[in-house]
């Protein structure tokens, strides 16, 4: 390939990309098509994002393969601390039984 042929091939390549098929790839404005291809693209992209989220949840979520055990231990300690403070508030009469149960559910979830 000669050095002088590069502009020719570059021009041909950009002419190919400027064809109507590739002009707005992958998400065009929808001209000349019904709503179904646009919905199909939306569903496809949503499916891909869902797979990525599920993959990360399996790897780093609760009991995940790469989850740091230190984070779980710290969270358990903080939860136990909050429950102890809530128990003290109940014993002192600063919260009633219903408020205690509501706060306990918030802490445990």
Range of weakest confidence among 9-23, 52-66, 71-85? 9-23
Provide the phi-psi class of 63: left if phi over 0, else alpha when psi is between -120 and 50, else beta: left
pLDDT in tens, 32-51: 566 777 788 789 999 999 99
* Percentage with pLDDT > 90 across the chain: 26
pTM of the model: 0.45
Quickly state the pLDDT bin for 9 (edges 50, 70, 90).
Answer: confident
H-type alpha helices, the chain: 6-17, 35-60, 69-92, 97-108
* Choice between 26 and 83, residue whose per-residue pLDDT is larger: 83
């Amino acid at each position: 390939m000669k050095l002088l042929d590069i502009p020719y091939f570059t021009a041909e390549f950009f002419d190919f990309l400027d064809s109507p098929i590739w002009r707005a790839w992958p998400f065009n404005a929808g001209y000349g098509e019904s709503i179904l291809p646009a919905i199909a693209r939306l569903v496809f992209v949503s499916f891909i994002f869902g797979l990525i989220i599920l993959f990360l949840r399996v790897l780093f979520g609760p009991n995940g393969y790469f989850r740091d055990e230190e984070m779980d231990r710290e969270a358990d300690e903080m939860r136990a601390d909050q429950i102890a403070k809530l128990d003290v508030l109940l014993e002192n009469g600063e919260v009633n039984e219903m408020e205690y149960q509501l706060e306990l559910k918030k802490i445990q979830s």
